[in-house]
A and B are shown apart, each in its own frame.
Chain A
Amino acid sequence: MKLLVCVSKTPETTAKISFSGDNTQFNEAGVQFIMNPYDEWYALVRALELKEKAGGSVTILNVGPKANDTVIRKGLAIGADNAVRIDAEPKSSLFVAKQIAAHAKAEGYDMIFLGKETIDYNGSEVGAMVAELMDQPYISFATALEVDGNTATVTREIEGGEEVSSLDTPFVISASKGLAEQRIPNMRGIMMAKRKPLTVVEATGATDLATVASYELPPAKSAVKLIDPDNMAELVRLLHEEAKVI
């Protein structure tokens, strides 16, 4: 099986969020970047497990500048066979999806994996876009994936429950918690990653149709109003009359 895992670089979960350039840019100063957890923990690891069982290859793809190579190398250390970086600044989801689709069309993968969303922009758009551009089915928020020959059985999260379905390859799948368990790269993996091929390719021409014009921080929370634990009637009154939420 020929598998592609698309990975993003995101600020780590506890990073302080601030903006520069008159609130038009995310301020990267002092921020540590990681591979998007949904891409790393679930999408990549499940792809590796399938390869280990049935043979084939796992390619990592990232759309981004050279600084992203550290994240790509981590994916190779965890076990991917090779990597491709499409050299461009990823400013909009459709731009990124077009880059991924252009690469994937030429290569012909059996499955394309992504995390269910990135933890920075939370858009959950790129997987669906890639599927549409490839004219392939899309399974979103997958929590289980088994493959037998070229037929897959998948479980995905739906509102208030889950849905089990089957389909044939090729398809695009986005990974949710439960699809796999996080793997920590070992020293051998880290050493081997340095010798694995990382190909850098030029981006194809595509325009950004939707871009961030400005950022703002949410209004500061006013200080918590403490209620006497022996006076829950007061809390109920406040929720009714002041907050008006019940």
Chain B
Amino acid sequence: MVLVYAESPKGKFKKSAFEAVTYGHKTAQVLGTECVALTLGDAEDAGQLGKYGASKVVSVSDAALNNFDSQVHTAVIAGAAAAVGANVVIVSHSANGKSLLGRLAAKMDAGSVSAAKEVPTNDGAFKVKTNVFSGKAIATYQIDSDNKVLSLMGNAIQPEEVGGAVAVEALSVAVPASRITIKEVKTVDGTVPLPEAELVVSAGRGMKGPENWGIIEDLAETLGATTACSRPVADTGWRPHHEHVGQTGVAVRPNLYIAAGISGAIQHLAGVNSSKVIVVINKDPEAPFFKAADYGVVGDLFEVVPALNQALKDYNAAN
């Protein structure tokens, strides 16, 4: 049996939860078994996880689980796995999922693979692929233990509807007391966080100063994209640190990454090379970023970015 933990922050599933259930369903097919989805704490309309291939949904609705503590969540997920007889557990490779992966592997004495990017294969050995060396290579891991724990890289597979809603079964699992007291949660509302963003508009030192960011924000708004920046821009305080994309910042994997005025240092590329399509706008035709780009525009970003924004608006108006 495959158990998928479907995260429901503030009681609602995000796309990553549907990706995880789709992945769990496909993994279960490879193993010739079924996929059960697990929700913890508040989870609105949990039965909809059946649409993505969960044969049933089990739920531990203790309100204490609305606060995240990897130790508590691990105990409950492992307890749920034992209760439903699952030896494969799948979580999203989210901020919280990353700390569950390791804990679950240790608790279940399981082989684990972080940020799996493809459905596993099971021809004689259980194998699954993940990016390593910050996306500069791909490793195929082999798991030899009976228990297995995987985290699924965001945007690696798309949610697929394969059925209808299913029944939600309340599961009774002991919830240990947390040793962490959460004092404050600060989130920026209204924008998709960078690690989950499907569309990203990013800019670098070519912007010349923070006062010029209006054209980037306008383009992002037209696209419904999240804004990002290069390291020097964050380090000089032009933009907040959480926008810094690169080796020591956030790694993104959007469908579309538009980079304006970023030369493309190897450390920046390490954060973006899982993007499906990269558009680079730079006045320097020798900028290394063009080598990693799918589409390039050699030109002055102060003219190209507003022109691109207008072209997008024209397209949207005509279609």
A binds B: yes
Chain A residues within CB distance 8 Å of chain B: 11, 13-14, 17, 19, 37-38, 92-94, 97, 119-133, 135-141, 153, 157-168, 171, 177-178, 208-218, 221-222, 224-227, 229-230, 232-233, 235-240, 243, 245-246
B270 lies within 8 A of A13 (CB): yes
A239 lies within 8 A of B140 (CB): no
A215 lies within 8 A of B299 (CB): no
Chain A nearest CB, measured from B281 CB (Å): 8
B179 lies within 8 A of A167 (CB): yes
A140 lies within 8 A of B98 (CB): yes
- A123 / chain B contacts, CB cutoff of 8 Å: 102, 114-115
In the complex, what distance in Å separates the CA atom of A131 from the CA atom of B74? Answer: 11
Chain B nearest CB, measured from A53 CB (Å): 22
In the complex, what distance in Å separates the CA atom of A55 from the CA atom of B145? Answer: 43
A229 lies within 8 A of B102 (CB): no
Chain B residues within CB distance 8 Å of chain A: 9, 68-71, 74, 94-96, 98-107, 109-115, 125, 127, 131-145, 179-188, 191-193, 195-196, 199, 223, 241-242, 244, 247-249, 251, 255-256, 266-267, 270, 273, 276-277, 279-280, 290-300, 303-304, 307-308, 310-312, 314-315
9 tightest Cβ-Cβ pairs between the two chains A and B: A128-B102, A229-B299, A160-B193, A161-B187, A209-B111, A210-B111, A132-B106, A125-B102, A232-B311
Chain A nearest CB, measured from B102 CB (Å): 3
In the complex, what distance in Å separates the CA atom of A130 from the CA atom of B106? Answer: 8
In the complex, what distance in Å separates the CA atom of A81 from the CA atom of B141? Answer: 37
Closest A residue, CB atoms, query B295:
A225
- A171 / chain B contacts, CB cutoff of 8 Å: 179
Secondary structure of the A contact surface, majority rule: mixed
In the complex, what distance in Å separates the CA atom of A37 from the CA atom of B101? Answer: 22
Known contacts A124-B114, A224-B295; A37/B256 CB under 8 A? no
B312 lies within 8 A of A236 (CB): yes
A97 lies within 8 A of B277 (CB): no
In the complex, what distance in Å separates the CA atom of A227 from the CA atom of B304? Answer: 11
Known contacts A120-B132, A138-B71, A211-B141; A236/B99 CB under 8 A? no
B295 lies within 8 A of A215 (CB): no
- A211 / chain B contacts, CB cutoff of 8 Å: 141-142, 144
- A230 / chain B contacts, CB cutoff of 8 Å: 307
Known contacts A93-B112, A165-B181; A119/B247 CB under 8 A? yes
30 residue pairs A–B, Cβ–Cβ below 8 Å: A93-B112, A94-B106, A123-B102, A125-B114, A128-B98, A128-B101, A132-B103, A132-B104, A136-B71, A137-B179, A159-B95, A159-B187, A159-B196, A161-B185, A163-B182, A164-B182, A171-B179, A177-B249, A209-B112, A210-B112, A210-B143, A211-B141, A214-B140, A221-B293, A224-B290, A224-B293, A236-B315, A239-B256, A239-B277, A246-B199
- A218 / chain B contacts, CB cutoff of 8 Å: 135-138, 273
Of the listed residues B70, B107, B291, B303, the one surrounded by the most CB atoms of chain A closer than 10 A to its CB is B70
- A235 / chain B contacts, CB cutoff of 8 Å: 279, 295, 297, 308, 311
Known contacts A17-B136, A229-B303; A158/B187 CB under 8 A? yes
Chain A nearest CB, measured from B87 CB (Å): 13
A124 lies within 8 A of B102 (CB): yes
Chain A nearest CB, measured from B137 CB (Å): 5
Known contacts A218-B135, A232-B307; A238/B111 CB under 8 A? no
